[in-house]
Amino acid sequence: MPEWSAGYVADIGYTYGTYPELNPHRLRLAFLSARLTPPAVTTACELGFGQGLSVNIHAAASNVAWHGTDFNPAQAGFAQELAAASGADVALHDEAFAQFCSRTDLPEFDFIGLHGIFSWISDENRRVVVDFIRRKLKVGGVLYISYNTQPGWAAMAPVRDLLNEYATTMTPAGAGSAGRVGQSIAFAERLFATAPTFLTANPRVASRFAKLKDQNHAYLAHEYFNRDWMPYSFSQMAGWLEPAKLDYACSAHYLDNIDPINLTAEQRQLLGEIADPVFAQTVRDYMVNQSFRRDYWVKGARRLGAIERDEQLLRTRIVLTTPRADVPMKAAGRAGEVRLQAKVYEPLLDFLADQEAHTIGAFLEVARERHGLTSPQVVQAVTMLVGMGHVATLQEEAVIAHAGPQARRLNQRLCELAMSNTELQWLALPGTGGAFPADRFHLLFLLARMRGAREPEAWASFAHQVLVRQGQRLMIDGKPAETDGHQLDRLVSRALEFRDKTLPLLARLGAVG
């Protein structure tokens, strides 16, 4: 690794992902559900933004002024290119944390986000980050932090150490992170084939390792091969954050906040008897074998009165982002797969089926009278569907109007990049202030439309020509398309489906003109 990387993987770029928990607008429903006052966010910061998709999308799709840094110059350069394309209020740097966090030209922030990075950096950098949060997070401001967690890593931590030690001591100099990842996994596979007693004592390791082998090597390099990698218990994280005077608010992963799908009745009873909130979270992690936490912390938690909280919830606007027929009536929790209660979810999904904006209060009026549902039932159902990714809360109309032009400029650039970059699969959605999943062909269809093609057949032809020029094939049923005709036919089908199912919502919520 280069000296400037301080033990952090820097010779292979991070993945082109987005993380909804980094969207400040999304914290509002979580805070209201936890009976806490959500802050009004006008300034935000992301530390360690990777390729910068999240920070650029969240800047372009909102009226929030964003700042951030990632010390990898190649990643920062790509992120700055996206920022220039959108023209949004975002200032991105390629500085190390110590340099960025000592800048004198930064404002105080309503929201600071770190996705995963705290688990991968040195203690020295962790202290720098915590001091930055202490100084720069406003009173009432929110920290989003995600990190690898004990006890879920207890069995896999030795495997991570094995992979990293092999990469450090056994792979040849100059192999690069990608080569080190592949060679380390190959060695571990040979070791596990000898049936070591470690696997007998830790039976779940084999299945986790099997999944690991198929993951993106760029992701694995950052997840497993940083020098200072460390999983923390919740209590340890609370200790790290104590100097910043933060209170734990709630999980940023909505489904983790719904106890019935994660905990047994006995577990819920035991947790209810624990008065200390930090120890309660530590115990809860044992109950669900938590390996990755996504948490909101707040500088000065303020409880909302019941009436004020209910009024804010009822005014919250929501929209169905998945076609009604495509929403599954089941969800996965820590306790296993659960069926959604038809008497609660069917009326809610039917009410939202037009994919227009509706308030929670408007549905509750109907739900009480026609279906006998209560406010807690409705709020939990909305939270569940948001957590599953099928419903989103909406920003104010003025914010959506402000964000529309800059989001559409960013989306055009993402569509252009999708001609050669197969990993870009997101669009900025002003309606929600966040990212909307769109596969590469959706982006190519939109690009054809932006260039004047009006019919799905022309969009499909454009995407087909992009594949032909690059010697690529559309995968159909796990195999490359056998002929150009077969490929074009499938692309036409996908373009028609995109026109009918997805494009109207994108237009309605400001992502496209």
* Residues 195 and 170 reside in one and the same domain: yes
* Residues 26 and 46 reside in one and the same domain: yes
Domain of 217 in residue numbering reads as 157-224
**DSSP element (H, E) containing 375:** helix 375-388
Give me the DSSP letters along 11-32.
SSPPP----GGG-GGGHHHHHH
- For 253, phi then psi, to 5°, come to -90, 100
Count of C-beta atoms within a 10 Å radius of residue 485: 10
CA 502 to centroid of chain Cα atoms: 21
Cα atoms found within 13 Å of the Cα of residue 284, Cβ hemisphere only = 26
Q: What is the predicted pLDDT for the residue at 403?
A: 98
Which H, E and C letters describe 379-404, residue by residue? HHHHHHHHHHCCEEECCCHHHHHHHH
Q: What is the predicted pLDDT for the residue at 8?
A: 46
* Residues 370 and 496 reside in one and the same domain: no
Q: What is the predicted pLDDT for the residue at 491?
A: 96
Residue 413 lies in a domain: no
Can you give the pLDDT of all 513 residues of the chain as single tens digits?
454 445 545 555 668 889 999 999 999 999 999 999 999 999 999 999 999 999 999 999 999 999 999 989 999 999 999 999 999 999 999 999 999 999 999 999 999 999 999 998 999 999 999 999 999 999 999 999 999 999 999 999 999 999 989 988 888 877 777 788 889 999 999 999 999 999 999 999 999 999 888 888 777 887 778 778 889 999 999 999 999 999 999 999 999 999 999 999 999 999 999 999 999 999 999 999 999 999 999 999 999 999 999 999 999 999 999 999 999 999 988 878 899 999 999 999 999 999 999 999 999 999 999 999 999 999 999 999 999 999 999 999 999 999 999 999 999 999 999 999 999 999 999 999 999 999 999 999 999 999 999 999 999 999 999 999 999 999 888 899 989 999 999 999 999 999 999 999 999 999 999
* Residues 375 and 449 reside in one and the same domain: no
Residue 145 lies in a domain: yes
* Residues 14 and 119 reside in one and the same domain: yes
Residue 433 lies in a domain: no
* Residues 135 and 177 reside in one and the same domain: no
Alpha-carbon gap, residue 329 to 321, rounded angstroms:
15
* Residues 121 and 250 reside in one and the same domain: yes
**DSSP element (H, E) containing 463:** helix 456-469
Strands 391-393 and 247-251: unpaired
Residue 122 lies in a domain: yes
Number of domain units in the chain:
4
Which H, E and C letters describe 147-193, residue by residue? EEECCCCCCCHHHHHHHHHHHHHCCCCCCHHHHHHHHHHHHHHHHHH
Residue 128 lies in a domain: yes
Alpha-carbon gap, residue 407 to 508, rounded angstroms:
13
* Residues 146 and 198 reside in one and the same domain: no
CATH number (domain holding residue 143): 3.40.50.150
Q: Specify whether the CB–CB gap between 436 and 498 falls below 8 A.
A: no
* Residues 319 and 379 reside in one and the same domain: yes
Residue 35 lies in a domain: yes
The most distant pair of C-alpha atoms in the chain lies apart, rounded to whole Å, by 71
First to last CA, the chain: 45
User: DSSP 3-state helix, strand, coil percentages of the chain (rounded to 5)?
Assistant: 55, 15, 30
- For 294, phi then psi, to 5°, come to -130, 105
* Residues 8 and 107 reside in one and the same domain: yes
Q: Specify whether the CB–CB gap between 233 and 150 falls below 8 A.
A: yes
* Residues 259 and 122 reside in one and the same domain: yes
Distances in whole angstroms, Cα of residue 478 to Cα of each of 186, 240, 425, 473: 25, 46, 19, 11
Q: Specify whether the CB–CB gap between 23 and 90 falls below 8 A.
A: no
Residue 426 lies in a domain: no
Residue 435 lies in a domain: no
* Residues 16 and 91 reside in one and the same domain: yes
